[in-house]
Chains A and B, each alone.
Chain A
C-alpha cells in the first residue's frame, strides 16, 4: 500500500490538519482572552502553524509520499480525498503564501481590533485551499471551495470602519455566492447524467454511456465556477474591487493562494473527472479554456494599462496571470505532451505565488506608511525606502517576464507549452500580452525611481515583519531563476499523477 512508514493513512493530510488545528487554537485563544492585542503571540501561533504545514508538505514531497514508486496516491474516506504529488505541491504553495501573509500582517494589524479572528479566518481559508488540493469528489470539492471562500469574504471586509473594505466584501460575497450556485448547478447536471460524485467514478460513467447535452451544459457551468475562483474573464469583475478594498496582505493572499487553489481544483476536475476523451461530443473544454485564456489575458492586460491606482493595476495583472495559467488547460490538445503542459502551469503558479505576494506586500508596506494609492503617490519613493523599492522592482519585472526572477522562465515554459500543444494563437497572445505588460509595470518602477518625490513624502519606521516577508519573497523570486530546475522536478511528478504519460 502507501508508504507513510508507521504512520496511518490520514497522516497524509498533516499539512491541512496543521492549518485547521492552528485555526481552532486561535479561536480557543480568542475565547479565553477576547479582543487580545497581543499581536506577536497571535501572529506567532499562525506563523508556526503555517510553517508546520509547509514543513509537512515539503517533507512528504521530498520523501515521495503518494507517488507511484512509494505505493501510489493515498485515497482517504472512500476516495473523497486523495493525497498525491499534485496535492502536496499545492499545499506547499498555500502554506508558503499563508506564512508570508501572516508574517506581514504582524505589522499591518498592529493596533487594530479583531486580530485573533483575522488570523483564524486566514488559517481556515488556507485549510479550505489545502482540502481543495486533495478533493477527489464533487462533494468535497464544493465543501472545500466554500470553506476557502467564506472566510475570504469576511477577510476582505475585515477593515470594518473602512467603507471601501466593507463594500468590497459585499461585492465579493454577492458575486461569489452567485458563482457558487452556478458551480453547484453544474455539478448537479453532471450528477443527473452519471449518478455518482467521486471523480474517478464520474469519469468511468461518462466514458461508458451515450451522453446527453446536459453534460455539456454542466461542464460549462463548472467552468464558470472556476472562472470566478481564479478571477478569469468574464467573472473577474470582483477582483479589482475586492483586492483594492481589502487589507493589502489579504489581497496578496487572495490573488496568489486563492487563485492557485482554484487552479488545482480545476486541474483535478477536468483531468480526472471530466477527461477530454470521455466527454467528447458534448463540450470540448480544451477549446473553451483556449478562448477563456486568450480573452482573459488580453482584457486584463489592456485594462491594466489604463489603471491609475497601483493596487488595481496589480489586480488586473493578477487577472492577466490567471489567463497565462489557463494556457496549461487550453494547450492540453491531443498533440501535446500533457504532463509537460500541465507542469508548466503549476510551475508558473508557484513562481507567481512568490512574486505576486511580494508585490502586494510592498503595497501593504506603503499602506502602513500612509502613502496614497495612485501611481503618482509612489513618486520618488526610492529616495526614502530603497530596499522596498528594489524589491518591488524585482517583483514587477519578474511578473512582466524580464529575467530578474523566476517569472521569466515560467512564462517561457508556458510559451513552450502553448507551442507544444500547437495552439499558435495562445502562444501569440502570451507574447503580445507579456510585451504590453512591460509597459504598465514600468510605470510604477519609473514613479519610484525616476520621478521627483513630492515635498511631503515622508515615511515612518521600517516595520520588521513586513520587511522580513518581503525579503523572503524577493530572495525566492530571484533564486527561482537559477533554481527553476528544482521546481520542475516536482511539477513534472505532480503533473504525471493526474495525466500519466
Chain B
C-alpha cells in the first residue's frame, strides 16, 4: 500500500507545483503583470476594451493585494474551475473554449497513440525475436531513419502531396462547411476524412520510441537466467519469446507511455497548426498570437494536468503489473 500512497503524494505535489508554476509564469516579467499586459495590448491596437482589462484582472487577481493574497485568490478561482473570460472569444468563458477544443485533441492523440503503442510494441517484439536478422536491421534502421525526420515537416509534405496535389483528403480544418458538430453520420464521416492526414502525420513517427524501447528491453530480458532456464527445459522458442521475454520487456514501456505524453502533446501543437485542426494545440497558438493570456494560461494548465493524471494512472497500473515495485518501495 505504501507504494500507492507514495505515488498519490507525488501526484498531489506535482499538481500543486504545476498550478503554482502557472501562477508564477506571468509574474516573471518585471512590474505589475496586469499593467504590463494592458500596456502591451494598448500598443497593439488603439483602444483597450474594459472587458479585456477585467479579464486580465480576473486571471491575475487584484494587483493591490500582496503576492500571497493574489496566490490565495488564484487558487480559489482554479479550484472553482473559473479561468475568466476569453477576450478574443468574448463573451465565452475560457472553460467553454477549452471544452470545445478538448475532444478533438483527446480523440486524435488517444487513437493515434494507442495504435502507435500496439504497432511499436509488436514490431519491437518481432525485431528482438529475430534479433541480428534482416528483419531486425530493417525495423531498427528504418525506425532510426524515420525518427530523424522533423514531423511537422512530414505533416507539411503530406498536405502538399495528398491534399493540394492529389486532392485525396481535405487540406485543413476538423470538419467541412456543410456539416456542424453533432452525432450525425454526415459530421462523423466528414470529421474522419479531415482527421486522416493529421493522424498519419502522428503515426509515422509515433511507434518509433516503442519499437526501439521494446526491442532493447526484450533483447536484455531474453539474456537473463530465467530465460536460459526455459531454453534448457526445452520450451518452444515462441513461447519463451512471448511469456519470458516480451512479458517482462513491456513493463518499462507502460511508464514510458505516460512520460512520452508530454512530448506527444508538444508534437500535436505542431501538427494541429499545420492542418488548422480545431484542437487544444491550435487554440494555444491562437491565444498566443491574439495575446489572449487568460486562455493561454488555462490551456497550459489543462495540458500539464492531463499529463500529470496520465502519469499517475500509469504509476498505479505499474504497481499492479510489477509486484517488485511495491516490495522495494515498502521495504
The finding on whether chains A and B are genuine partners in a shared complex, rather than unrelated, reads no
- B residues touching A (Cβ–Cβ < 8 Å)? none
